[in-house]
């Protein structure tokens, strides 16, 4: 954080109606010393800071001109921005790199910032290869080891373990025959993570109040995690090289059935991305299989749900029985659901190169017509 000692000393001296000479006499230092301090050409000895703070009746932070509240605001603002903009996790963060670097320089002991930095270091891009990721590993592991050695916040420690596991997981996926070392490292990390019944989401439902609110939040988080688990299950089933979208169609429908059972009123709230993601997979799977009618039905549902969610107020309330009365804030992903759906249709999302729409499907007049509804 920026220190403005000279400016603060000059302001405090003037508030006491003292000249530099008078202040020097009170502190038993030379007039030139005071002058140098106020011009930030030199600083007092550390032992002098409590004396100065006591003399002026202020905190040491105030004397140094450090605005902790403003500094914290900047940190939280940056953390919130990255946490609510998933696209920044896949390399699109250059414009914010300087801001993060500046905050890290001023707050080298803030492991929230180091964890964010690590999350960006371990961001995965479609272009990544096993070799390119191995080349990044020394820098990644250096930060990882530093955080684990010094950070005492268990949640942050678990977050960096999770991020590193994604790196090792990608390497082993891209190079299954030559990644024994990464596979062993991945298994070690996973073995150190807490089990589901020791997770924050589960344990909190036993002990924290208000219990109904805590349980609802935890159930929502569990549903979101379950969606990810099912996608990973599909990937595992399709490890023989099969088209996982086509194989996964029954799984995607089953996931949506679970979400509809939890939210029969269609008030999906924070689970909306899981719902929209599954409809995307269904549309793409049917298109790949040549079932264009079903694919277009899925796209129509996807668009309707996107527009419906975008129309909700920022602060909304659930009506479905399990969550009735539960208030939630819509998540800000930097763009509307409709905009994200447009990217999906336009093949402008990060993974388009791997999952393009069939050319015959895009040539169908219904494809262009649906695009115009967004």
Structure tokens at 177: 């025959």
Condensed to tens digits (0 to 9), the pLDDT of residues 36-50 reads 988 888 888 888 888
Phi, psi of 181 (to 5 degrees): -65, -45
pLDDT band at 56 (very low <50, low <70, confident <90, very high): confident
pLDDT band at 10 (very low <50, low <70, confident <90, very high): confident
* SS3 at position 317: strand
Comparing C-alpha atoms, which of 138, 130, 132, 236 is closest to residue 178? 130
Condensed to tens digits (0 to 9), the pLDDT of residues 142-152 reads 999 999 999 98
Strand boundaries in 63-110, DSSP class E = none
For residues 266 and 261, give the distance between their C-alpha atoms in angstroms, rounded to a whole number: 9
On the question of pLDDT at 369 being above 70, the answer is yes
Comparing C-alpha atoms, which of 17, 9, 67, 65 is closest to residue 37? 9
- Could you write out the DSSP letters of every residue in 177-190? TS-HHHHHHHHHHH
Q: What is the 3-state secondary structure (H, E, C) of 14-72?
A: HHCCCCHHHHHHHHCCCHHHHHHHHCCCCCCCCCHHHHHHHHHCCCHHHHHCCCHHHHH
Condensed to tens digits (0 to 9), the pLDDT of residues 334-347 reads 689 999 999 999 98
Q: Is the pTM of this model over 0.85?
A: no
User: In the prediction, which pLDDT does 100 show?
Assistant: 86
Q: How many CA atoms lie within 13 A of 244 on its CB side?
A: 16
According to CATH, the topology of domain 5-66 is 434 Repressor (Amino-terminal Domain) (1.10.260)
- Dihedral sign for Cα 87, 91, 97, 103, please: positive
User: In the prediction, which pLDDT does 359 show?
Assistant: 94
- Dihedral sign for Cα 277, 279, 282, 284, please: negative
For residues 144 and 138, give the distance between their C-alpha atoms in angstroms, rounded to a whole number: 10
- Report the percent of the chain where pLDDT is more than 90: 59
Helices (H), 290-330: 292-310
Condensed to tens digits (0 to 9), the pLDDT of residues 249-308 reads 999 999 999 999 999 999 999 999 999 999 999 999 999 999 999 999 999 999 999 999
Burial of 163 (0-12, 13-18, 19+ CB in 10 A): buried
Comparing C-alpha atoms, which of 9, 2, 64, 3 is closest to residue 38? 9
Q: How many residues does the chain have?
A: 374
**CATH number at 212-374:** 1.25.40
């Amino acid at each position: 954080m920026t220190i403005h000692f000279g400016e603060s000393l000059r302001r405090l001296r003037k508030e006491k109606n003292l000249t530099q000479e008078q202040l020097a006499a009170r502190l038993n230092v030379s007039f030139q010393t005071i002058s140098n301090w106020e011009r930030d050409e030199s600083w007092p000895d550390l032992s002098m800071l409590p004396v100065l703070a006591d003399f002026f009746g202020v905190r040491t932070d105030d004397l140094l001109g450090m605005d902790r509240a403003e500094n914290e605001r900047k940190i939280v603002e940056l953390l919130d921005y990255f946490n609510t903009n998933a696209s920044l996790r896949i390399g699109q963060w250059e414009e914010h790199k300087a801001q993060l670097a500046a905050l890290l320089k001023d707050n080298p002991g803030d492991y929230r910032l180091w964890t964010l930095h690590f999350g960006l270091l371990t961001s995965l891009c479609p272009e990544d290869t096993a070799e390119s990721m191995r080349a990044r590993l020394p820098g990644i592991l250096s930060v990882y080891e530093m955080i684990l050695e010094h950070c005492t916040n268990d949640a942050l420690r678990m977050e960096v373990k999770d991020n590193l596991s994604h790196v090792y997981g990608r390497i082993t996926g891209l190079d299954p025959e030559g990644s024994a070392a990464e596979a062993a490292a991945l298994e070690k990390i996973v073995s150190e993570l807490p089990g589901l019944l020791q997770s924050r989401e589960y344990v909190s439902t036993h002990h924290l109040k208000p219990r109904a609110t805590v349980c609802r939040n935890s159930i929502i988080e569990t549903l979101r995690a379950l969606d990810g688990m099912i996608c990973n299950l599909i990937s595992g089933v399709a490890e023989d090289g099969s088209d996982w979208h086509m194989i996964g169609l029954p799984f995607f429908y089953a996931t949506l059935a679970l979400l509809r059972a939890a939210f029969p009123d269609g008030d999906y709230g924070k689970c909306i991305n899981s719902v929209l993601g599954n409809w995307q997979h269904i549309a793409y799977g049917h298109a790949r299989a040549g079932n264009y009618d079903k694919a277009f039905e899925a796209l129509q549902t996807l668009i309707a749900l996107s527009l419906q969610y975008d129309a909700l107020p920022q602060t909304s309330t659930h009506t479905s029985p399990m969550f009735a009365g539960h208030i939630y804030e819509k998540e800000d992903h930097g763009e509307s659901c409709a905009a994200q759906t447009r990217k999906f249709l336009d093949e402008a999302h990060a993974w388009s190169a791997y999952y393009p729409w069939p050319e015959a499907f895009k040539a169908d007049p219904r494809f262009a017509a649906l695009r115009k509804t967004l």
